[in-house]
A and B are shown apart, each in its own frame.
Chain A
Amino acid sequence: VKLRWTENENIGGDEKDLLGRRSRKVLRETNNVFLLTLAALSFGSVISLAALGEAIFTVYLALLAIVYFATTLVFRVKRRPSFDFLAVVLAIVFVWSIVSYII
């Protein structure tokens, strides 16, 4: 039973899909989806806060930290080096921003 390509193209959906084969290939990789999600959420949150007229800098920092932690927690991608120093920096910034805002 010789398997033909045309049979397999239907595995992932219709060939005439709007996204196209290349886009689907990009989106199948977890790393790509992770990066796209992180970029969309972080830039989106800054723009949303700006649109709402937020002027306190610590609010931006806190939201960015939350976005980062939430995204890394959901996707759990491998990093090289494995130690996530950005998470440490953001955690410090988050704590500092909250503390300084309260004080």
Chain B
Amino acid sequence: LILGRYFFLGLGLSFAGTTTSIVSYFLAHLIILTALGIAAIMVGVTAATLPEQVSGSYAMKVLLRGSTLGIDPLLDKILERRQNNIERLNSSKAANPPPSPPSSQHYLHDLESEVEEERMESISSTQENILSAVYLPPVFESNASRGAAQGDQRASVYVSLTDRIPDTLQEMLAAPTTLLDENGGQQQQEGIRIFTPGAYLGEVKEIRIEDIGIEEALQYILVESAELCSTVRASEIEDTIVVEMNDVRVQSESETYRHLLGSLPTSLAASVVAVVRGSPVIITNEEITPTRNIARLSILEIGEE
């Protein structure tokens, strides 16, 4: 029996309540004190049977570690391929600097896309590693019938193998789920779609309620179901969601996983947000301390087609 935090407090309260009840009922004949004693027993027994603070049980740690184990070799290869591609791209850029665009091309860009590009560039320069991963929402039949994409009810993660992210959700969903051979004649693979432990979150009905809040959904998955942390809070400012997870004691993912996809709790949080919002999500920042994790997620405003 694993003793909870309030076990001894509860035991003491129960003992005091029992003594009070017996003495009051049989010797003093005081109904009120007897009732108070019984109330103390009730609270004491309840306190004694409450388990330790819900946070990262060992069984859950083992299960989650096992679930990420399968994709670790693939992630290692992805990381290697990505670094090679970026190095190759940088060396070719240094050898052949791109010519300055003609002035007429400036008029072809509309202001909105320019701002978006600038935003993406500024984020990329700060958190390049985690930004390579875009958490994609599952595509349900209702969306698929509208031609958004082929119905795939699994939430996936698009990992870019180059320095760019596709412009549309369709392109990301169409990415291969394996690493293709690097042949000289073939076109370079832009990215890969992988599946994390949060792949089937779209099947959880509790987080697919129409007006469910992000915090409520995160609370249900991370705290109540997975027991990854004791509490979770979410704050939304425009397209950015700041997620704060307290007492995260499960650091079960591999170094490569954390490098490419973020820590496991944050990765799951990003999958939850993608499912709830139905939009691609990126982790722009993550701060891990011994007592809490703070992640900043951005919802990508990209076209479906």
Could you say which residues of chain A place their CB within 8 Å of the CB of B294? 3, 8
Interface presence of A74 (CB below 8 A): no
Instruction: Provide the residues of chain A in CB contact with B127, threshold 8 Å.
Output: 1
Return the contact of B231 from the options A10, A28, A42, A78 (Cβ within 8 A).
Answer: A28
Is the pair B46, A35 in contact by a Cβ cutoff of 8 Å?
yes
Check B42 against A68 for contact (C-beta < 8 Å).
Answer: yes
Does A1 lie within 8 Å of B1, measured CB to CB?
no
Cα distance, A38 to B32, chains bound together (Å): 18
Q: Let me know if B36 is at the binding interface, CB within 8 A.
A: yes
Do the beta carbons of A12 and B287 come within 8 Å of each other?
no
* B4 / chain A contacts, CB cutoff of 8 Å: 80
B50 x A8 contact (CB < 8 A): no
Question: Residue B84 at the A interface, CB < 8 A?
Answer: no
Per-residue contact bits, chain B 20-31, to A (CB 8 Å; 1 contact, 0 not): 000000000001
Taking the nearest CB of chain A, how far is it from the CB of B192, in angstroms?
Answer: 26
A8 CB, min distance to chain B CBs, angstroms? 6
Q: How far is the CA of A34 from the CA of B50 in the complex (A)?
A: 10
A91: Cβ under 8 A from any B Cβ: no
What DSSP secondary structure best describes chain B's contact surface? mixed
Give min CB distance, B270 to chain A, whole Å.
15
Measured CA separation A66–B244 after assembly (Å): 37
Which residues of chain B have C-beta atoms less than 8 A from A79's C-beta? 49-51
Interface size on A, residues (CB 8 A): 37
Q: How many residues of B contact A (CB 8 A)?
A: 36
Closest 6 CB pairs of A and B: A60-B35, A42-B39, A80-B51, A50-B32, A11-B235, A28-B231
Starting from the known contacts A8-B294, A78-B54, A90-B42, 16 additional A-B residue pairs (CB-CB under 8 Å) come to A1-B123, A1-B285, A11-B233, A28-B231, A34-B50, A38-B43, A39-B43, A42-B42, A46-B39, A57-B31, A64-B35, A68-B46, A79-B51, A80-B2, A80-B4, A80-B51
A residues lining the B interface (CB < 8 Å): 1-3, 7-8, 10-12, 25, 28-29, 31, 34-35, 38-39, 42-43, 45-46, 49-50, 55-57, 60-61, 64, 68, 77-81, 84, 86, 90
**Contacts A/B (CB < 8 Å), 22 sampled:** A3-B242, A3-B287, A3-B294, A7-B242, A28-B230, A31-B54, A35-B43, A35-B50, A38-B46, A43-B39, A45-B39, A50-B35, A56-B31, A60-B35, A60-B38, A64-B38, A79-B50, A80-B4, A80-B49, A81-B1, A86-B49, A90-B42
